[in-house]
Each structure stands twice: as C-alpha cells, then as structure tokens.
Amino acid sequence: MIVNRESRHYPGAAHVWVGKYKNLTNLPHWHPDCEIFFVETGSAAANIDGKIYELGEGESVFIDPSAIHQIKGGESSTLAFFIFDSIPVRDIVKDRALRSPILSCDYGLPALFSKIEAELKESDPLAARSVNNRIERLMLDIFLREATQERIRKENFMETRYKLLLKDIDEKYADYTITDAARFAALSESYFSKFFKRMASMTFTQYLNLVRVEKAIALIHKSEDTVTKIAISCGFGTIRNFNRVFRSITGYSPKNLPASYNMLSLHPTCAIEDTFDPTSSDSVLI
C-alpha cells in the first residue's frame, strides 16, 4: 500500500495523545512522532519497516519516529496507544535505537495510560507538565532497560527515496516499469525487487497493479470512456489482463463494480506530504 505521512496536532501544552481502539486496522503510514502501544485484549500484528511482529495480550511495542508501519488488531481486540512528539525526548532517541520494537516488559503501561488520560482532561498547566514528565520517564526506563544499538540514519536516503518513489509511481503509473523504479531508487533491478518487497510487503508488480486499478476505479466512476479505453490509459496492455487483475484486487469485474465501492480499501490517493488519517472506518475509538 502507498505510504502516507500522518501529521498529529496536539491541542495543549502536553504533546501527548492517548487512546484505545477496538478492532483496529490502519493503512501503512509514518510520522515524526514516537508511538507506543500495548495489547489490552486479544492479539495484533504490526508490520514495522517491512517486518511483521505477532503480539499477544499484554505485549507492547515501541515504534521509532519515521518508521513505516501498519497495525491490524485481531478479532475483538483492544489496543491502547501513546503517541507523542519526539522533540522533547530527542536526546534519548537521537543516537540510539532499540534492537527490537517489542518491549521486554509492560513498564506499567496500563496504569500509566489511565493516569495520563485523566491528566490530559485537566486544565491545570501542571497536569500537562506532569504528562510530559511521565512520558520522558517512560522513555528513559525503556532505553535504559532494553537492548539498544547505535542509530542507523537510513531515513536520510533509502526510506526518503522509497517515499518519493511511491509518489513518482502515483504520478506516472501508466507507463511505469520496474526498470524505471530501480533507476529512480539508484539500485539494480534484482536488489530493488528485494528492497521493495521488504518495504511494501508486496512485490513491485502487485503494488503497481494496485495503483493502476485505483486510477481505473476513479475513471469508471466519473468518465464516459469505455472500459477498454480506461484499461489502456491506466497502463494495461490488454482488456483481458485488465479484467483479470481488476477482479483479483476488487472482487468485481469493471462493469459490475458497485457505485459505492470504497477505494480506501486499496489505499488513499493523497500525496506523501499530505496529512491523512490512516485508521480504517471499521476501527472503533473508545
């Protein structure tokens, strides 16, 4: 799925947000904030920088600023989140990173969640200060107790290049090839194929087909063009191939696609620098 930047605005002096979701599913995204979540009930799977972590009840995860991630809660699951500005804790995270995002203990996260949730509702400036101090203390505890390593500044090239590549594909999808993509990423085609699958959790061809089908759906909804013309304009060489790929992705033929079909089930179309909410409509904030 295309990776978009989520931008969070904190309304008060405490640059922290806490919340719980039932049955959470979100789209791949990244943000400059730190994120910690724990599984209150049920289970979850987290795809973080292309690696999938399976989590059971009581387990918790730290997601590094700018890490590309996607979270899917299990059936009847409840996940509790702490999302906070990385600037106040930058001295803790700037030179070191956790070896694994899975935390070795719960750090009292359930009790801490309740305390911060209550303090965020208070208007007293001291409450906001208390929230910020609690988060700083939590981060100190985590980085003192967990195994760490020197931070690898991969974001300054490969991840940035990857995010820009997705935007380039979104703009030039009809004639785009894996050769174009590998050249854009300054990698050999064989290495690029492995790199892209690790980052996107799908092959380049699968991703390109997703983009092309999304563009075709938009044209089907608003254009008077024939299906054949739409197929060709979106980069499909034959109507037979278009019909096959379209059905495999949407479950419908192009002519039988419901007018209410939600393209967000594929991925959002906003550019990577835009703000968007990665959370699916099926998720329930409680």
User: pLDDT, tens digit, for every residue of 244-276?
Assistant: 999 988 889 999 988 877 554 554 333 334 445
For residues 2-11, give the mean pLDDT. 70
Alpha-helical regions (H) of the chain? 90-93, 109-120, 125-145, 158-172, 178-185, 189-200, 204-222, 227-233, 239-250
Which CATH fold topology does 155-265 show? Arc Repressor Mutant, subunit A (1.10.10)
SS3 letters across 170-186: HHHHHHCCHHHHHHHHC
Bigger pLDDT: 28 or 20? 20
Lowest mean pLDDT among 25-39, 109-123, 151-165, 252-266: 151-165
DSSP 156: G
Which of the pair, 223 or 201, is modelled with greater confidence? 223
User: Residue 272 is which amino acid?
Assistant: I
- 65 pLDDT tier (thresholds 50, 70, 90): confident
Is the Cβ–Cβ distance between 109 and 143 less than 8 Å? no
The residue extents of the domains of the chain are 4-152, 155-265
Assign domain 4-152 one CATH number from 3.40.640.10, 2.60.120.280, 1.10.275.10, 3.40.50.720: 2.60.120.280
Reduced to 3 states (helix: H, G, I; strand: E, B; else coil), residue 9 is coil
Alpha-carbon span 61 to 145, nearest angstrom: 14
Q: What is the rounded distance in angstroms from the CA atom of residue 283 to the CA atom of residue 168?
A: 30
- Per-residue pLDDT reduced to its tens digit, 120-158: 999 899 999 999 999 999 999 999 999 999 886 555 456
Mean pLDDT of the chain: 86
- Please give the model's pTM, rounded to 2 decimal places: 0.62
Most confident of 44-53, 59-68, 84-93, 112-121: 112-121
Task: Supply the pLDDT for residue 28.
Answer: 79
> Can you say how many angstroms the Cα of residue 181 is from the centroid of all Cα atoms in its chain?
21
Task: Check whether 69 has a pLDDT greater than 80.
Answer: yes
Residue 49 gets which letter from DSSP?
A: T
Q: What is the pLDDT of residue 273?
A: 41
